[in-house]
Structure 1
Amino acid sequence: MRNALSVDIEDWFQVGAFEKTIDRADWDSLVPRVERNTEAVLELFERKGAKATFFTLGWVAERYPQLIRRIVAEGHEIASHGWDHLRVFTMTPEQFRADIGRTRKTLEDVSGRPVIGYRAPSFSIDPRTPWAHPILAEQGYAYSSSVAPVHHDHYGWPDAPRFTFRPVAGSALIEIPVTTARLGSRNLPTGGGFCRLLPYRYSRWAYTRANRYDARPAVLYFHPWDIDPGQPRVANAPLRSKLRHYTLLSAMEGKLERLLDEFTWGRMDDVAAAEAKRTR
């Protein structure tokens, strides 16, 4: 079964864990590492023969257009991650519409390719944003991967479906939630920091279960900074944020290599096309 491989393109200082510690006005004065880290991801994918979707901030695309063009030239999909990592539930509908419109235009102008996919920063489409999916549908997006059906202190929509659903009646838009593993009555999260912090056998179990038990494709996501143990440390960040962000950075690339070897992966748009047929 082909699973969806995805990378959320943001720099180390743009993550949700540091949003209350690092001022957005200071971003341009900080040491950037997103280009070098994304290039390392591209090299990993090249070695493994894997294609992926890169959910990219408009802020990054505006500053590193050559990186976006390289991603496309190597056969990967460019999709939207919003402009500057504002959580959707912090915006009004009008602000959200403007955010995704500005980001899409920048990504399409730089890449020369249509943008049909969206992932909300920090999976921030949830019950507080009933207008978000309708706006994505209105704007002609084919798919979103913006829902995490889990309990988490930063995000989560635990009552959402675990697998692909149609969030807007009469629309072609589909939502492809990030993969969870069902254990009893609880959904367990996967990908990102969970892949990095937990033993490899947990990720393998979760994705195997999605494919074999649920008979559905899995969605793996991570960030370029997840494989960068040399990134700067934010000394004044909360202890919990530092533990989540910096622990086992040196182990992540090896875990990704094993996942790429043990499962079949592809771009989100290809998986979305198959899922759209399944949910008609």
Structure 2
Amino acid sequence: MNDRLHTSAVAATGIRNAMTIDVEDYFQVSAFAPVIARDSWDGRECRVERNVARILDILDAGEVKATFFTLGWIAERYPQVVRSIVAGGHELASHGYGHLRASSQGRAEFAADVTRSKRILEDIGSVPVQGYRAPSFSIGSANLWALDVLQEAGYRYSSSIYPIQHDHYGMPDAPRFAFYPNGPDGLLEIPITTVQLMQRKLPAGGGGYFRLLPYALSRWMMERVNQVDQQSAIFYFHPWEIDPGQPRLDAASIKSRFRHYVNLGRMEGRIAQLTRDFKWDRMDRLFLGKA
């Protein structure tokens, strides 16, 4: 299908998808935690300001509004990043404070983390923060209590479960689309997008898979979700993914380096193409009915 026919076919569905950005820097990713000490973060070159500014330009050019799941650690040090997100008409949401996996925290520690990040973001952004995404999609069958904690902290939705099999995360038996794990009075969970082929759920929502796979295949999978499932796709990426000039960490494992650095140079163009190929909006507008 050529680009013009594809765009017409997707537009015909009238379905908007959720464009989401996990605001963290290259040295904060979970895969690099074994080789980058947390107490070294403040001494490292932070590239998130320029990368978020570039993302905002791309989204503005495509007339796209998005949701930015932002670390409290970033917000404290770069408050203008938060203010520019809000000023651009995008949704401000939480990625926790210091990129600790939810699965590595106890209930009290997790509650403190998500409460702290929510307060920091709301104080700086002057807007309510309703959404949360766990670092590395680290909510699953073993810690679904985290969703109760999020609700108690004042969040209305989470996008923390990836219904796939992965060596670091995943809840393969989870539903593919938005659901209430603890009943209709609980928190809404909005999983990252997958496609169902035979008995397998395949990742179709962004990140390293999007950089690795041919663009046409990723586009086909999201198109399938819109046209066949009649559902919104949830797409995510990180500011460091459009930054091929970031420092290289030779101490990380070969697998971690491959996953992190593969096709960084192609990512910005692919994101721009996505803004043209699909309809997009903020998570809160799509799932909470916020005008």
Please classify the TM superposition score into its range, dividing by the shorter chain length.
Answer: over 0.9
SS in 2 for 1:107: helix
CA distance in structure 1 between the aligned counterparts of 2:186 and 2:288, rounded to whole angstroms: 11
Whole-Å separation in 1 of the counterparts to 2:158 and 2:269: 28
For residues 27 and 46 of structure 1, what CA distance do their matches in structure 2 show? 30
What is the match of residue 144 of structure 1?
A: 158
Matched with 1:40 is: 54
Match in the other structure for 2:147: 133
* Distance (whole Å) between structure 2 residues aligned to residue 68 and residue 140 of structure 1: 20
Residue matched to 2:222: 207
SS where residue 4 of structure 1 aligns? strand
The reply on whether 1:108 has 2:122 as its aligned counterpart is yes
Residues 143 and 175 of structure 1 are in contact (CA less than 8 Å); yes or no, is this contact kept in structure 2? yes
Hey, what does 1:262 align to over in structure 2? 277
TM-superposed CA distance for 1:140, in Å, is 2.6
Q: Within the alignment, does 1:79 sit opposite 2:101 as a pair? A: no
The answer to whether the Cα contact below 8 Å between 1:137 and 1:168 also exists between their aligned partners in 2 is: no
Q: Deviations over 1:39-75 (max 9, x none)?
A: 1101111111110000000000000001100110010
Inter-partner Cα distance in structure 1 for 2:18 and 2:161: 15
Per-residue displacement from partner, 1:219-264 (whole Å, max 9, x unpaired)? Answer: 0000000110000000111000111111110101111111110100
Match of 2:252 among 208, 230, 237: 237
Shift of 1:100: 0.3
Equivalent residues in 2 for 1:177-256, closer than 5 Å: 177-190=191-204, 191-256=206-271
The alpha-carbon deviation at position 30 of structure 1 amounts to 0.8
**Is the partner of 1:141 in helix, strand or coil?**
coil
Q: Which amino acid in 2 is paired with 1:221? A: Y
| Corresponding position: 1:164 with 2:178 | yes
Query: How big is the alpha-carbon RMSD for the aligned residues of Structure 1 and Structure 2?
Result: 1.1
Gaps of 5+ in 2: 1-14
Q: Are the equivalent residues in 2 in contact too, given 1:147–1:157 (CA < 8 A)?
A: yes
Measured after TM superposition, the shift of residue 172 of structure 1 is 4.8
SS at match of 2:98: coil
Please give the residue correspondences for 1:12-27 in structure 2 after superposition, counting only pairs within 5 Å: 12-27=26-41
CA contact (8 A) 1:137 1:171 kept: no
**Which residues in structure 2 correspond to 1:88-99 (within 5 Å)?**
88-99=102-113
Q: 4+ residue stretches of structure 1 with deviation over 6 A?
A: none
Amino acid at match of 2:147: H
Aligned partners of 2:225 and 2:233 also within 8 Å: yes
Q: Indicate if the aligned counterparts of 1:151 and 1:157 stay in contact, CA closer than 8 A.
A: yes
Encode CA deviations 1:3-40: one digit per residue, 9 max, x unaligned.
10100000000011101111111001111101111111
CA distance in 2, matches of 1:13, 1:140: 29
* Alignment TM-score, normalising by the size of structure 2: 0.92
Structure 1 residues 130-139 or 222-231, which shifts more? 130-139
TM-score (norm 1): 0.96
Structure 1: which 5+ residue stretches go unaligned?
A: none
Letter in 2 for 1:40: R
Tell me if structure 1 keeps the 8 A contact 2:118–2:129.
yes
Equivalent-residue separation in structure 1 for 2:36 and 2:65 (angstroms): 33
Q: Distance in 1 between matches of 2:216 and 2:40?
A: 39
Alignment partners' CA distance in 2, 1:36 and 1:66 = 11
The secondary structure found in structure 1 opposite 2:202 is strand
Question: Does structure 1 retain, via aligned residues, the 8 Å contact 2:148–2:186?
Answer: no
Q: Any idea what SS the aligned residue of 2:288 has?
A: helix
Q: Distance in 1 between matches of 2:147 and 2:186?
A: 11
